[in-house]
Structure 1
Amino acid sequence: MTTKTRAIQQKIARLQAGGKPRVLDLFAGCGGISLGFSAAGFHIAGAVEFDAAAAASHGRNFHSGEPAHSQARDITKTSPDQLAKDLQVGRTAEAFDVLVGGPPCQAFARVGRPKLREVDNHAEAFKHDPRAQLYIDYLRYVEAFAPLAVVVENVPDVLNHGGQNIAEEIADVLESKGYVCRYTLLNAAFYGVPQMRERMILIAYRREIADTVTFPDPTHFIDLPPGYEGTRSVALKFLDNEIADDAHRYVHAPKAVRSLPPAVTAEDALGDLPSIDARKLLKSGALRRGARRFDEPMPYNKEPHTAYAELMRTWPGFEAPEALVDHVIRYLPRDYPLFARMNAGDQYPQAYGHAMEMFEQHLASLAEQGIKIKPNSSQYEEIKASIVPPYDVGKFPNKWRKMWRDQPARTLMAHLGKDSYSHIHYDSKQARTISVREAARLHSFPDGFAFCGTMNPAFRQIGNAVPPLLAKAVAMQVMKTLKQAEWEREDEPRRTAAAVS
């Protein structure tokens, strides 16, 4: 019996004895997947994350800030054995039951399947290709830790990344290592997240555990806007071309039915949070340029108004604090009046049109006062710059968007850490972009989940994360499979005896 086989049998026996499945989260970020798996009954035993602020957030929320669990690690420079030693989790092959995460898709570009199969025998084969290195190390971690289950999350484009179906390649390599794999596309809005976020999800099980893979049934219904159906169509383009025969492990996602509860809306998610009147704060001097630190408590002044808001305040282990410290917004003095004038769903072309109207109105007001501004003069350009954003309408059509209050938000991206214009608050009275805590709510992070660092790193952590409620739905499906595998093995002697009698 090989060391790996022995380790797998020990893990199965441990779960049959009632032990919690232990998770290693790679490319963990602040812990969106970890939070979902924790809520589904898994134990978060370790993580690897390169970004210092995100690693600190993960350690703070899942390991009380223990130094070994809070430090940033480079997966290309940290071997599985070294990680097991640092985290004091015992022998490498016996340390973890489930491995989750998703290497950045750039790591997969043009790394052919025949080459990937050489990883075990030729560990040095692709060090010349930095795009391949993260994927190689990911596979090396799977090989070393021999998890019973693997979950990979990534953007839909991995299904057709420059003509290459990365998800199929991942599945192919994992199946060569003794796993059964399937992958699909899931939208977070169908699983109670107030955000329309499409993601590729791959699940793999050791063949000793299961011979099929299933995905979670939706809990909510929404008619996705054309843009999101379009994203899915582009991602699934390979099904309609010559590589369709190469998508053996793709399965269609379970369908949402109209009888399900409606998707959680932006107002469902944010309506109970304290209002922030950006123009009033600016006028009083309370809102100024500079780093936004999480050191000014803002008490709740409303009761939870929806089941979702109640969940965000009462999530077990992450209950809401007495006051929020990360309900902070960007300093954007030029744009607050423009935000107030925009309509729900307006994007940058509409915003620019509103701004030009405001500019013309301002010039007319000055003219009424006897102040004439010569077109194209320095004064004219100075006034225009104080009202009208400078971006080219043709180049930035989707740069801005004012949210609808009665729909889930559009996808939160990592560039929230740079500008936040993609998510302008639906409440014109507040006239601002969303706060860090509001971004967390739209992503389904509970109010008791703390982000390390200042505003910009926190926004980036949220935008990069897997929505915890989507992760929880996937995790519950994995737990169900693991439990079913235990039940079958526990009952096998009884079934065999019954068949003999």
Structure 2
Amino acid sequence: MYKLNTIELFVGCGGLLDGFEQSGHYNTLASVEWQKYACETLINRLQNKYKYEDAKDRVLHFDIQRTEELINGWKDDEIYGSNEGLNKLVNARKVDLIVGGPPCQAYSMAGRIQDKDGMRNDYRNYLFESYLRVVDIYKPKIIVFENVEGMLSAAPDGENIVDKIRRGFNDHGFDIINDIRSNALLDLSEFGVPQKRKRVILVGLNRSYFGDQSQNQDTLGYFYNTILPSYKSDAPPTVRDAIGDLPKLYPAEADYREAGRKFSHFPPTTEKNWHKPRYHNRRDIEIFSILAKDIQCGENKYHSIENLKKLYTEKTGKTSNIHKYYVLRWGETSNTIPAHLKKDGLRHIHPDPEQARSITVREAARLQTFEDDFEFIGSMVQNYEMIGNAVPPEFSKRLANAIYELLETKRLL
């Protein structure tokens, strides 16, 4: 089987990459990521799962904004060490595909609401420019650019960021679909992900391989409306499908310590990697139990936002303009798994009232479709963040297969 050579940018812990590797159609030449613990997680995965003996060489711990150094090599004793650069690693091989999605916080609605300047001054708004500089150097057949729905309305300097990205792709000889919202805004729950998660998936076609702009709009329309939909599931998996078989973690009668760490639930760990209970105080445990029981018995007293806010005030003595809590439903998809899980799990409460807790790292990983043999090499906080920032590997695998099918159709393999 012919394998396509890929470069991954903003790779994180490798959710997008993992799906491409699972498809069996791709060879990862290099991956770029600036967070060290994410790089360590990815190196571990490439070595142990996909048997890349030189995984440490293929994963570049570096800041993509320093593009010239990334390409030609760098020496940075304080943070990134030294490396001969991406050109040396690629070693004159043809790059068929460049994949990645810049950090989404600057484009997300939540980020804009929370930031006093609406994220207008956030440097991450323009990381796509670094992405395009790498694209311009290696000129792949196809590029894949992933981001949040909020990207469609983000306009940090008054111009819609999508228009900037489209112009950038065009200037570098690539075409993306004209009507992004109708075609490229995807509900990932339709692709085997047990989670409500909408993402913009931009596929860019290199005119040198695919033809002129008019032809490429026809090709992209065929991809989004015929090829990609053929990889959808008949029905989305549910929370029960994803996490229902994991060992139960019950509240202890009192807090206790093990290996220097404070626990509120037992057992403190299970044979499943990172199925460890997060610590919760007694007040939160009581609230979680009340909310989950309310759903389980069908009373739905706390179905309304106002009643959730009242409960928060009754139990904490504080007020909030937004509701703090959400309980996952066994028979439905989960709400979106965000990087914010690293701070608290109040919006991701386990549906079993007897367990009265938020979801574990492993449960979050399963809702993101990471396999159980995917090991996260970080602290609990870092692992929640990596998982929340990732593209679900199950969706990524289907996307990878769809792109391969497109190239087969166009006889570009």
Band of TM-score, shorter chain: 0.7 to 0.9
Match of 1:33 among 7, 10, 16: 16
1:79-90 paired onto structure 2 within 5 Å: 79-82=70-73, 85-86=84-85, 88-90=88-90
The answer on 1:171 being equivalent to 2:166 is yes
TM-aligned CA distance change 1:291 to 1:284, over 3 Å: closer
Report how far residue 330 of structure 1 moved. Answer: 1.5
Q: Report Cα offsets for 1:300-352 as digits up to 9, x if no partner.
A: xxxxxxxxxxxxxxxxxxxxxxx313001221123112111113475775445
| Whole-angstrom distance in 2 between the partners of 1:176 and 1:49 | 26
Question: Do the aligned residues in 2 keep the contact of 1:56 with 1:71 (CA within 8 Å)?
Answer: no
Partner of 1:196: 196
TM-aligned CA distance change 1:168 to 1:419, over 3 Å: same
Report how far residue 477 of structure 1 moved. Answer: 1.4
Match of 1:396 among 322, 327, 332: 322
1:471-482 paired onto structure 2 within 5 Å: 471-482=396-407
* DSSP 3-state at the match of 2:391: coil
Q: Report Cα offsets for 1:10-62 as digits up to 9, x if no partner.
A: xxxxxxxx531111111111011101111222122211111111111112112
**2:275 is matched by which residue type in structure 1?**
H
Partner of 2:377: 452
TM-aligned CA distance change 1:352 to 1:181, over 3 Å: closer
* DSSP 3-state at the match of 1:34: helix
The answer on 1:271 being equivalent to 2:244 is yes
Question: Do the aligned residues in 1 keep the contact of 2:263 with 2:278 (CA within 8 Å)?
Answer: no
Partner of 2:80: none
Query: Larger strand proportion, structure 1 or 2?
Result: 2
TM-aligned CA distance change 1:35 to 1:347, over 3 Å: farther
Match of 2:229 among 214, 217, 231: 217
| Whole-angstrom distance in 2 between the partners of 1:447 and 1:274 | 13
Report how far residue 281 of structure 1 moved. Answer: 6.8
Partner of 1:438: 363
| Whole-angstrom distance in 2 between the partners of 1:438 and 1:57 | 18
| Whole-angstrom distance in 1 between the partners of 2:126 and 2:202 | 20
**1:341 is matched by which residue type in structure 2?**
I
Partner of 2:143: 150
Partner of 1:54: 38
TM-aligned CA distance change 1:483 to 1:85, over 3 Å: farther
TM-aligned CA distance change 1:144 to 1:329, over 3 Å: same
**2:63 is matched by which residue type in structure 1?**
D
Report how far residue 206 of structure 1 moved. Answer: 1.5
| Whole-angstrom distance in 2 between the partners of 1:338 and 1:288 | 27
TM-aligned CA distance change 1:347 to 1:471, over 3 Å: farther
* DSSP 3-state at the match of 2:375: coil
Question: Do the aligned residues in 2 keep the contact of 1:80 with 1:145 (CA within 8 Å)?
Answer: no
Number of aligned residue pairs: 354
Question: Do the aligned residues in 1 keep the contact of 2:263 with 2:279 (CA within 8 Å)?
Answer: no
TM-aligned CA distance change 1:262 to 1:133, over 3 Å: closer
**2:3 is matched by which residue type in structure 1?**
K
Q: Which has the larger radius of gyration?
A: 1
Partner of 1:262: 235
Task: Give the unaligned 5+ runs of structure 2.
Answer: 49-53, 75-82, 109-120, 211-215, 296-301
* DSSP 3-state at the match of 1:217: helix
Task: Give the unaligned 5+ runs of structure 1.
Answer: 1-17, 110-127, 221-259, 299-322, 358-387, 490-501
Q: Report Cα offsets for 1:412-440 as digits up to 9, x if no partner.
A: 11110111111000111111000000000
Partner of 1:23: 6
- The two structures, once aligned, show a CA RMSD in angstroms of 3.2
Match of 1:406 among 322, 331, 337: 331
TM-score (norm 2): 0.76
**2:61 is matched by which residue type in structure 1?**
A
Question: Do the aligned residues in 2 keep the contact of 1:347 with 1:402 (CA within 8 Å)?
Answer: no
| Whole-angstrom distance in 2 between the partners of 1:76 and 1:270 | 38
Question: Do the aligned residues in 1 keep the contact of 2:186 with 2:199 (CA within 8 Å)?
Answer: yes
1:283-294 paired onto structure 2 within 5 Å: 290=262
Partner of 1:324: 272
| Whole-angstrom distance in 1 between the partners of 2:125 and 2:194 | 34
TM-aligned CA distance change 1:51 to 1:484, over 3 Å: same
* DSSP 3-state at the match of 1:335: helix
**1:430 is matched by which residue type in structure 2?**
Q
TM-aligned CA distance change 1:51 to 1:167, over 3 Å: same
Question: Do the aligned residues in 2 keep the contact of 1:57 with 1:70 (CA within 8 Å)?
Answer: no
| Whole-angstrom distance in 2 between the partners of 1:153 and 1:473 | 14
Question: Do the aligned residues in 1 keep the contact of 2:97 with 2:140 (CA within 8 Å)?
Answer: yes
| Whole-angstrom distance in 2 between the partners of 1:129 and 1:262 | 38
Partner of 1:42: 26
Report how far residue 173 of structure 1 moved. Answer: 2.0
| Whole-angstrom distance in 1 between the partners of 2:378 and 2:122 | 32
| Whole-angstrom distance in 2 between the partners of 1:108 and 1:136 | 15
Partner of 1:336: 285
- Percent of residue pairs identical: 30
Q: Report Cα offsets for 1:140-170 as digits up to 9, x if no partner.
A: 1000111111000111111111364323432
**1:68 is matched by which residue type in structure 2?**
D
Question: Do the aligned residues in 2 keep the contact of 1:60 with 1:70 (CA within 8 Å)?
Answer: no
Partner of 1:249: none
**1:199 is matched by which residue type in structure 2?**
R
TM-aligned CA distance change 1:355 to 1:396, over 3 Å: closer
**1:396 is matched by which residue type in structure 2?**
I
Report how far residue 101 of structure 1 moved. Answer: 0.8
